[in-house]
Structure 1
Amino acid sequence: MKKILEVKDLHISFHTFAGEVQAIRGVDFDLYEGETLAIVGESGSGKSVTTKSIMRLLPEGNSEIKSGNILFGDDDLAKASDKKMQKIRGKDISMIFQDPMTSLNPTMTIGKQIMEPLIKHRKYGKGEAKKRAIELLDLVGITKPEQRLKQYPHQFSGGMRQRVVIAIALACAPKVLIADEPTTALDVTIQGQILDLMKELQKKIETSIVFITHDLGVVANVADRVAVMYGGKIVEIGTVDEIFYNPQHPYTWGLISSMPNLDTEEEELYVIPGTPPDLLNPPQGDAFALRNPYAMKIDTEEQPPMFKVSDTHYAATWLLHPSAPKVEPPLAVKERKAIFEKKQAASVRGGK
């Protein structure tokens, strides 16, 4: 597959009254054509900051891309001018935000808001833009699109507003779509509908998606690959099956263990002890060391490199060092792996 986006050794800081917050500390990942990459982690891990930097939507004045590259085609977005970014935003790279009500302009009709990027980036005339806006509303599952075009955001339900935001984001058929917790503000039933809609639309317009979430349950349904973030760094990355059923980093073990699982008899959900690190004063070693029950002395002294687990799977934990003691993952992780392997074996037998 062809790479469409490359983020290389990205460092981002925020300058505050308390000092410099090192929010992103050397993030690397690639995005390939037609794939969905999910970025997961607790609040404050750096997920949204990373993706907003791709769109160059970080607050001016106190944020700074200190080093690194964001390569998109022939452009390095980390160094691109405001004029260049204005051409790229909405046309080549679009974003779906968490809360549709704050993403939409309450004083403009839905029709005008969908037509705006078409007129600006695609140079459509008003008649052509209106026709395409009706098609987009129909595409995202809104009935009577001709009537809805004349209405305002407050006349739509939360789920319908999110469908409108998706229609706006997809208006120019972007190469990359960034979805920042797009279903968090919605109830579970609507959440499922929106996720199904995004998967369906991705196939139709052949876009690549970066999906930000703290909900691993959502990830299983939408992603091809998963990047796990902690303390401003990616600590593990791999395919969905590798992250869910063969995780290697203790932080990922904690996330997996905290997920509800109907196949096990556990009555209480696991909670990762402690709190995320203070990025005003980042730890010298592994940022997860103080919360890691398997931490060794080296974890407090040196940051682990990315160890290769497979061609698609990497994890930054000293437990993967050849000299490290062998540690068994938690029971919940082992149970998930066993259930997965049993289902795979049954599938193979059924295929014969």
Structure 2
Amino acid sequence: MSKENILSVKNLHVNFRTYAGEVKAIRDISFDLNKGETLAIVGESGSGKSVTTKTLMGLSEKNAEVSGQIDFKGRNLTELKEDDWVQVRGNEIAMIFQDPMTSLDPTMKIGMQIAEPILLHEKVSKQEALDRALQLMKDVGIPNAAEHINDYPHQWSGGMRQRAVIAIALAANPEILIADEPTTALDVTIQAQILQLLKDIQKERQSSIIFITHDLGVVAGMADRVAVMYAGKIVEYGTVDEVFYNPQHPYTWGLLNSMPTTDTEAGSLEAIPGTPPDLLYPPKGDAFAARNAYALDIDHEEIPPMFKVSDTHFAATWLLDERAPEVTPPAAILKRWEQWQKMKEN
């Protein structure tokens, strides 16, 4: 049974006008989000992950030029005026930011901060909004919530502040939650708790989540589908199992090869050499070519199209062209391919 599509991004471009010239931050990306699923967008810093999510929320900088389509409930969000965004932002699409300390108002009581979106989007009394805020505090696992509803952010730990930020995002019961690296500022134990909380919330509310991260280890336990971003483009897109066990793009190989697993041998982790390109002057061909040990001559000349690996799996690499020579990926990737074959047989 096909899943219901809730958000569709088509041919999205985001350019920033700067004194140095035009930065092409997002270069023609397309993806879909289905109801009740988690789509993870992964990639190194500067790959365009956060610019994408800010664009989805109508939070682009003043010097941004946005083109393409973001279809949500029969509307193209790229055409909304600021007044129209008030109804969408926080109400239908909400965001959990990376650093809870900078996304909470240090001068306002936490209970009131959670109640604020309810007061903004619904006709309820202040007391009713605070009652709902208290319930949300309990829902996100804040202990002794009634005793702490009048606390200020500085009185709470990082993990508790992140729970408060999640409660604010949930306050108006949005259909889509965008989580922008929500566990980066937290220690490993608290990270696991927050990730489990998001999974529980999703199951209970049937919400859809766009999860932004550079940590592929987090993706494995969270996502249904994965979009791998590099230099403002999506270079691989598929189900979580396809991207983890049957990766096709050399950039995805590099990301997976730099991630420790339970059977990683000592000294076998490898960093991707070099740095991402300057998007003031995007490369002529495949943006990853200069860092790619498997690059073909055509990679330096032409941007590869999205090749179809399966009905749900696509990758933008010339290695998938029928004319391309066969290459042997790193040993760790060959192991993943072997696992993939076993998974398909079972």
TM-score calculated relative to the size of structure 2: 0.97
Give the distance between the partners of 1:327 and 1:84, measured in 2 at CA. Answer: 51
Residue aligning to 1:238: 238
Once the two structures are TM-superposed, the CA of residue 337 in structure 1 deviates from its matched residue by: 3.4
Q: Deviations over 1:59-107 (max 9, x none)?
A: 22x2111x20111112111110101101111100000000000000001
Give the distance between the partners of 2:214 and 2:190, measured in 1 at CA. Answer: 18
Larger CA deviation: 35-44 vs 261-270: 261-270
Residue aligning to 2:71: 71
Equivalence map 1:296-311=2 (5 Å)? 296-311=296-311
Equivalence map 1:1-352=2 (5 Å)? 1-60=3-62, 62-65=63-66, 67-339=67-339, 348=346
Letter of the 2:64 partner, please give it.
S
Once the two structures are TM-superposed, the CA of residue 343 in structure 1 deviates from its matched residue by: 7.1
Once the two structures are TM-superposed, the CA of residue 262 in structure 1 deviates from its matched residue by: 2.0
Once the two structures are TM-superposed, the CA of residue 47 in structure 1 deviates from its matched residue by: 0.3
Letter of the 1:56 partner, please give it.
G
Larger CA deviation: 27-36 vs 327-336: 327-336
Q: Deviations over 1:165-195 (max 9, x none)?
A: 0000011110110000000000000000000
Give the distance between the partners of 1:54 and 1:297, measured in 2 at CA. Answer: 36
Give the distance between the partners of 2:337 and 2:316, measured in 1 at CA. Answer: 21
**SS in structure 2 of the partner of residue 78 of structure 1:** helix
Once the two structures are TM-superposed, the CA of residue 146 in structure 1 deviates from its matched residue by: 1.1
Once the two structures are TM-superposed, the CA of residue 242 in structure 1 deviates from its matched residue by: 0.3
Give the distance between the partners of 1:14 and 1:38, measured in 2 at CA. Answer: 24
Once the two structures are TM-superposed, the CA of residue 342 in structure 1 deviates from its matched residue by: 5.3
Contact 2:246 2:340 in 1 (8 A): no
Once the two structures are TM-superposed, the CA of residue 278 in structure 1 deviates from its matched residue by: 1.1
Give the distance between the partners of 1:315 and 1:343, measured in 2 at CA. Answer: 20
Letter of the 1:68 partner, please give it.
G
Give the distance between the partners of 2:237 and 2:343, measured in 1 at CA. Answer: 23
Q: Deviations over 1:272-323 (max 9, x none)?
A: 1111011101111111111111111111111110000001000000000011
**SS in structure 2 of the partner of residue 114 of structure 1:** helix
Larger CA deviation: 261-270 vs 103-112: 261-270
**SS in structure 1 of the partner of residue 78 of structure 2:** coil
Give the distance between the partners of 1:162 and 1:23, measured in 2 at CA. Answer: 28
Give the distance between the partners of 1:42 and 1:273, measured in 2 at CA. Answer: 12
Give the distance between the partners of 1:52 and 1:181, measured in 2 at CA. Answer: 13
Give the distance between the partners of 2:88 and 2:125, measured in 1 at CA. Answer: 20
Once the two structures are TM-superposed, the CA of residue 2 in structure 1 deviates from its matched residue by: 1.1
Give the distance between the partners of 2:39 and 2:117, measured in 1 at CA. Answer: 25
Once the two structures are TM-superposed, the CA of residue 264 in structure 1 deviates from its matched residue by: 3.2
**SS in structure 2 of the partner of residue 309 of structure 1:** strand
Identity of aligned residues (%): 63
Q: Which runs of 4+ in 1 moved over 6 A?
A: none
Q: Give unmatched runs, 5+ long, in structure 1.
A: none
Letter of the 2:193 partner, please give it.
Q
**SS in structure 2 of the partner of residue 95 of structure 1:** strand
Once the two structures are TM-superposed, the CA of residue 127 in structure 1 deviates from its matched residue by: 2.0
Give the distance between the partners of 1:274 and 1:146, measured in 2 at CA. Answer: 51
Q: Give unmatched runs, 5+ long, in structure 2.
A: none
The count of aligned residue pairs is 344
Letter of the 1:237 partner, please give it.
Y
Give the distance between the partners of 1:337 and 1:196, measured in 2 at CA. Answer: 29
Give the distance between the partners of 2:191 and 2:157, measured in 1 at CA. Answer: 13
Larger CA deviation: 118-127 vs 70-79: 118-127
Once the two structures are TM-superposed, the CA of residue 205 in structure 1 deviates from its matched residue by: 1.1
**SS in structure 1 of the partner of residue 116 of structure 2:** helix
